[in-house]
Amino acid sequence: MLRAYSPKLRAPQAWQTGAVLDESPVWLDLIDPSEAERAAAVQWLGVGLPTREQTSALELSSRLHASQDALRVNIPSFVRTEGEHGPSTPLGFVLTPTMLATIRYADSLAFDQVAASLAGSGPMPSGTEIFVDLMEGIVNVSADRIENIAAEISTLSQAVFAENRDQRGLLRKALFKVGRLQRQINQIRTALLGVSRVVSYLCDAPPPWSKKIMQAQWKVIHADIGALNEFDQQLSERLQFLLDAVLGFINNDQNDIMRVLTIVSVATVPPVILAGIWGMNFKSIPEYDWPHGYAFALSMIAISMVVPLIVFRLKKWL
């Protein structure tokens, strides 16, 4: 899909084969583009667009490239497709003095928010200003997601540390939830790492056509990313502590079960011994001739079970 944003029409124009659109767009948004859409964008932009393999490259030299006529920025891991379990997709920017082109392969809330803001009243921002707005939007969306994760961790922590005797099912669910939250934190951290490197580069070597006021915006964005990284690290530490606590509670439950089984086995050893002695088929066993031998045997078996339980109770092993 190729959508063009121009000053004349505030609503995005969807490009189709053979369509004639506005000749002066300021933003070309390509979402998993076809070859025809890429060719149309290159014709408008005047410079080439990176392929998906190029935007996915991890080396720093492939992420940032600046020249007199264009700035190319690649973020290898941006958002996931098909929810939190899908693969990460890259994000690419190509910025010229008059136009911005973005290449992405999944929907993004940050892009939707910026696109919605362009539909309002007021002058149409330039491609460079839209680029700054997109970076701010990515950071803001990441901050909102981190806040939601922090709230989920607090709720989960209260449930795990609640005095609930029957929380075995909760602990099992907590393990899966901790894993899900950790995946989300890693995704946000990876995306912010790519954005942080881009912003650091732009703070040191901004494009020659960018305004000086944008340098202050880049510094603010860089500071926000640093604060989010610190908060993200705190969330990772809280998740690790919560994971250790959940595993500790599970071990305690297993120890309690083994303790009960041990007590039961110890308490049943004397009755088994007595039953084995009186169950031997020897004629010389004197208890066989007692008038109340059966009642005596049952009483001794019961006492041999109760006495160990009383001892365990006094020693507070139960």
Q: What is the rounded distance in angstroms from the CA atom of residue 87 to the CA atom of residue 73? A: 21
pLDDT greater than 60 at residue 276: yes
Cα 231 from Cα 114, distance rounded (Å) = 25
The residue-averaged pLDDT of 286-291 equals 80
Where do the domains of the chain lie?
1-107, 253-314
Chain position carrying tokens 């928010």: 113
Q: Give the percent of the chain with pLDDT over 90.
A: 0
Mean pLDDT of the chain, nearest integer: 81
pLDDT for 85: 59
What are the CB-based long-range contacts (under 8 Å, 24+) for 266-271?
A: 266/308, 267/305, 267/308, 267/309, 267/312, 268/305, 270/301, 270/304, 270/305, 270/307, 270/308, 271/301, 271/302, 271/304, 271/305
Least confident of 9-23, 206-220, 236-250: 9-23
Rounded to an integer, the average pLDDT of 84-111 is 82
State yes or no: pLDDT of 86 exceeds 70: no
Q: What is the DSSP letter of 18?
A: T
Q: Binning pLDDT at 50, 70 and 90, where does residue 212 land?
A: low
Could you tell me if 183 and 157 are in contact, meaning their C-beta atoms sit under 8 angstroms apart? no
Task: Give the pLDDT confidence score for residue 82 in this predicted structure.
Answer: 53
pLDDT (tens digit per residue) in 40-66: 888 887 788 888 887 777 665 556 777
The mean-pLDDT minimum among 177-191, 250-264, 297-311 falls in 250-264
Q: Is the pLDDT of residue 318 over 70?
A: no
For the chain, what percent of residues have pLDDT higher than 70? 87
Confidence at residue 263, expressed as pLDDT on a 0 to 100 scale: 81
Q: According to the model, what pLDDT value does residue 94 have? A: 87
Chain centroid to Cα 19, Å, comes to 41
Q: Can you name the residues that pair with 27 across neighbouring β-strands?
A: 5, 100
Determine the pLDDT at residue 309: 84
Q: Which fold has domain 1-107?
A: Beta Polymerase; domain 2 (3.30.460)
Q: What is the DSSP letter of 97?
A: S
CB-based contact 106:205 (threshold 8 Å): no
102 touches 96 (CB < 8 A): no
Residue with the bigger pLDDT between 27 and 209: it is 27
Average pLDDT in the 291-306 region?
86
Cα–Cα distance between 11 and 13 in angstroms, integer?
7
Q: Find out whether 111 and 92 touch, Cβ atoms under 8 Å.
A: no
Question: Which of 80-84, 246-250, 290-294 shows the lowest mean pLDDT across its residues?
Answer: 80-84
Burial of 229 (0-12, 13-18, 19+ CB in 10 A): middle
Class of domain 253-314: mainly alpha
Task: Output the pLDDT for position 80.
Answer: 65
- Please tell me the predicted confidence (pLDDT) of residue 70: 81
Closest CA to 187 of 151, 226, 141: 141
**For 113-160, how does the pLDDT look when each residue is reduced to its tens digit (9 = 90+)?**
888 888 766 677 788 888 888 888 888 888 888 899 899 888 888 888
Confidence at residue 131, expressed as pLDDT on a 0 to 100 scale:
86
